[in-house]
Amino acid sequence: MSLVFRNLDVSVEDPVERWGVEGILTALERGNVEHWRKVARAVANDPRGKVAGELAEAVTMMEHEGMASLFERMLRQASERQERCERHQVVQQLGQALQTSGLTRAEFAAYLGTSTSRLSTYLTGKVVPSAVIMIRARAVAERFGTKR
């Protein structure tokens, strides 16, 4: 049985971004795995975007607690996956700045205004540095990278 949106100016063939909360809720409650995957792909592509926000709202209106729990978990996992990716990017950028600077870890940390051990936690991703530290790292890399 195919899914049809009633009282909505969109169809299932339209991008999920156009469905709105009501369309997403309908797809979750009356759709099938194909529709759920379509929603999941949109959330995976932008875990903090429009569809994710609408899905979070739709989940609060779902009648079936098990399904609601499933989609809440999917939202959480997509967000966690994106955060891991962002942390990895920060580690890569900070490591590149250190390498470009040509400084030792101790020297680089001193110019950042932090300790070598704290720099190590940044470079392993255990701790996410502040935006200020990232700006300093870029500035230190630019300042010393061309001089060595």
Report pLDDT for 87. 95
Distance, in Å, from the CA atom of 115 to the CA atom of 138, rounded to the nearest integer, reads 17
Give 82-104 pLDDT, tens digit per residue: 999 999 999 999 999 999 999 99
Cα dihedral 10→14→16→19 (10° resolution): 0
Query: Is the per-residue pLDDT at 1 higher than 70?
Result: no
The answer to whether residue 139 is domain-embedded is: yes
CATH number for 93 = 1.10.260
Q: What is the mean pLDDT of residues 128-136?
A: 97
Range of the domain at 59: 16-63
Report pLDDT for 2. 83
Give 35-82 pLDDT, tens digit per residue: 999 999 999 999 999 999 999 999 999 999 999 999 999 999 999 999
Share above pLDDT 90 across residues of the chain, in percent, rounded to a whole number: 94
- Clarify whether residues 90 and 132 are in a common domain: yes
Report pLDDT for 55. 98
Q: How many domains does the chain have?
A: 2
The answer to whether residue 95 is domain-embedded is: yes
The answer to whether residue 10 is domain-embedded is: no
DSSP states along 15-43:
-GGGTHHHHHHHHHHH--HHHHHHHHHHH
